[in-house]
A and B are shown apart, each in its own frame.
Chain A
């Protein structure tokens, strides 16, 4: 089985509100996947379903488990940081390490200790005494010391300053990620994770609107900045989105005819952030 996560017609309703509407997606092993969507698109609901924290309709397999019914077994192989700063205020850093070491068979204490030493966080401190950034570092150190096949991060850097955010992602990429790991991450700040993702899932109104690798995005889409005199010719090439910028107009194309477009203006690769905006707002801005 190569797909680590396989969702088919995944649906979650809260009363009349449909948070997930027959979402289909899969995540392969060894990838870093960004689940990206506007507020209320169903990102967190999707993660909660994947982690077994909520009941759902449809089919969902994560590491061969049905998450809601088999959360305990799933948590041997998967790990998550749902939201920032959820470590309880009364917990001491050394207690947190002792506890996870006591209950988690895949936890490697030496690793957690060295990660915390690197971050200059000592064992006797309580979470309530730590800044939000430090708390996140503690949680990340605990998660990274678990030999999990899947790590799920839900808005892991929300509310952190730029230094803490950078430290977080550096640690993740340099000290954690290897070919045996898979990371699923949701965030608002697309630009910040763009460089570390291998795949993206765009979600909107509970549905998956794009499921693609970053390599595919690079070859499949292009952005062309054209001056106003070439605009009509450029529009004839059927852009799916356009956006005025500094006296020019940037047009976005799927499977573009690059030779033709190069004659009309400057051709760029499309960033994930641009693609996200284009896909989710549709048409011209």
Chain B
């Protein structure tokens, strides 16, 4: 346990971007809240849930999008960088197993980094809500300081951290395999094998099962984790200027907890991920240097 904490701490030392990027995003958003010219008066008649929820979701989504890109890069780099600069020879002189090392990188990407972004998004929305309330006085207050909304946002983040970790496990594990294996150009090597498989399948069998599987894994997460059924919750409609927006009154109904955790796809993916992790650990043991 102690070793796990030191390994995670080491990741923070090496990858300062883990916390610097969310700090920068949060800072920019706060600047926008401070000096932005948003005419909130025009949307003031919109129901509380729609404005507050939309605002909080937009902030969260921005963090989430950046995080996905950063985590991908992190996973590709983490087992490659120390082989490239040969510092792997120092890390391997410590009584730490290769399994612990690989799992610490995986945990950093799937749990630690999302937790950092979650905290940053929360803090940012709090500060922004405060600034907006002060700047535009009471007209918007009710929308932003809404206990149920905040609770929903926390639940959404926690649900997404758990479900994305499970859903994207095979992708993360695959990136670790490439990172532990490639001698150069990790980005290219991460794309080539799937591309070659897709083309080969198309060439020999004129089918696209692999492409479909990969696409489903990359893009299928929302459909697995959330309900896409308008009947699952109640909606409100409101006019914003000339547009009309429709928003759910709450997000609880969207969580497809039972569906996600009972889906075969979820667990097949997790099993493939586990196998790839074993693969990455083996490669880490055998491939010391580039």
Beyond known contacts A75-B95, A102-B3, A102-B6: 12 more, CB 8 A cutoff: A51-B92, A71-B97, A72-B97, A79-B93, A80-B93, A86-B85, A86-B86, A86-B90, A88-B85, A90-B13, A104-B94, A143-B93
Contact mask for chain A residues 52-77; partner B; CB cutoff 8 A; 1 contact, 0 none: 01110000000000001001110110
Question: Cβ of B97: which chain A residues have Cβ within 8 Å of it?
Answer: 71-72
Indicate if the CB atoms of B13 and A95 lie closer than 8 Å.
yes
Interface size on A, residues (CB 8 A): 32
Nearest-neighbor residue (CB-CB) of A152 within chain B: B93
Question: Cβ of A209: which chain B residues have Cβ within 8 Å of it?
Answer: none
The answer, yes or no, to whether B146 is at the interface (CB within 8 Å) is no
Interface of A, helix, strand, loop or mixed by DSSP: mixed
Nearest-neighbor residue (CB-CB) of B95 within chain A: A75
Indicate if the CB atoms of A54 and B288 lie closer than 8 Å.
yes
The answer, yes or no, to whether B14 is at the interface (CB within 8 Å) is yes
Question: Cβ of A83: which chain B residues have Cβ within 8 Å of it?
Answer: 86, 89
Question: Cβ of B288: which chain A residues have Cβ within 8 Å of it?
Answer: 48, 53-54
Indicate if the CB atoms of B3 and A88 lie closer than 8 Å.
no
**Number of A-B residue pairs with CB-CB distance less than 8 Å in the complex they form:** 74
The answer, yes or no, to whether B201 is at the interface (CB within 8 Å) is no
Nearest-neighbor residue (CB-CB) of B96 within chain A: A103
The answer, yes or no, to whether B82 is at the interface (CB within 8 Å) is yes
The answer, yes or no, to whether A177 is at the interface (CB within 8 Å) is no
The answer, yes or no, to whether A132 is at the interface (CB within 8 Å) is no
Q: A54-B288, A88-B85, A99-B6 are in contact. Are A76 and B93 (CB under 8 A)?
A: no
Question: Cβ of A160: which chain B residues have Cβ within 8 Å of it?
Answer: none
Question: Cβ of A95: which chain B residues have Cβ within 8 Å of it?
Answer: 13
The answer, yes or no, to whether B183 is at the interface (CB within 8 Å) is no
Name the 5 nearest CB pairs between A and B, nearest first. A88-B87, A75-B95, A102-B6, A82-B89, A72-B97
- For this complex, 22 residue pairs linking A to B, each with C-beta atoms less than 8 Å apart, are A51-B93, A53-B89, A53-B92, A55-B286, A71-B97, A72-B95, A75-B92, A75-B96, A76-B95, A79-B93, A80-B93, A83-B86, A86-B85, A86-B86, A86-B87, A86-B89, A90-B14, A99-B9, A100-B94, A102-B3, A105-B95, A139-B90
The answer, yes or no, to whether B10 is at the interface (CB within 8 Å) is yes
Q: Give the contacting residue for B10; candidates A73, A89, A99; CB below 8 A.
A: A99
The answer, yes or no, to whether A214 is at the interface (CB within 8 Å) is no
Question: Cβ of B5: which chain A residues have Cβ within 8 Å of it?
Answer: 102
Q: A48-B288, A86-B86, A88-B87 are in contact. Are A75 and B93 (CB under 8 A)?
A: yes
User: Which residues of A in the span 146-195 have a Cβ within 8 Å of any Cβ on B?
Assistant: none
In the bound assembly, the distance between CA atoms of A107 and B95 in angstroms comes to 11
Q: Give the contacting residue for B93; candidates A55, A73, A82, A88; CB below 8 A.
A: A82
Question: Cβ of A100: which chain B residues have Cβ within 8 Å of it?
Answer: 94
Indicate if the CB atoms of A91 and B95 lie closer than 8 Å.
no
The answer, yes or no, to whether B262 is at the interface (CB within 8 Å) is no
The answer, yes or no, to whether A108 is at the interface (CB within 8 Å) is no
The answer, yes or no, to whether B244 is at the interface (CB within 8 Å) is no
The answer, yes or no, to whether A92 is at the interface (CB within 8 Å) is yes
Contact mask for chain B residues 74-89; partner A; CB cutoff 8 A; 1 contact, 0 none: 0000000010011111
Contact mask for chain A residues 110-148; partner B; CB cutoff 8 A; 1 contact, 0 none: 000000000000000000000000000001000100000
The answer, yes or no, to whether B137 is at the interface (CB within 8 Å) is no
In the bound assembly, the distance between CA atoms of A51 and B92 in angstroms comes to 9
In the bound assembly, the distance between CA atoms of A51 and B2 in angstroms comes to 24
In the bound assembly, the distance between CA atoms of A90 and B97 in angstroms comes to 22
Indicate if the CB atoms of A103 and B95 lie closer than 8 Å.
yes
User: Which residues of B in the span 245-290 have a Cβ within 8 Å of any Cβ on A?
Assistant: 285-286, 288
Nearest-neighbor residue (CB-CB) of A107 within chain B: B94
In the bound assembly, the distance between CA atoms of A54 and B30 in angstroms comes to 52
CB distance from A97 to the nearest CB of B (A): 12
In the bound assembly, the distance between CA atoms of A95 and B16 in angstroms comes to 14
The answer, yes or no, to whether A222 is at the interface (CB within 8 Å) is no
CB distance from B3 to the nearest CB of A (A): 5
In the bound assembly, the distance between CA atoms of A72 and B93 in angstroms comes to 9
User: Which residues of B in the span 132-187 have a Cβ within 8 Å of any Cβ on A?
Assistant: none
Question: Cβ of A51: which chain B residues have Cβ within 8 Å of it?
Answer: 92-93
In the bound assembly, the distance between CA atoms of A100 and B93 in angstroms comes to 10
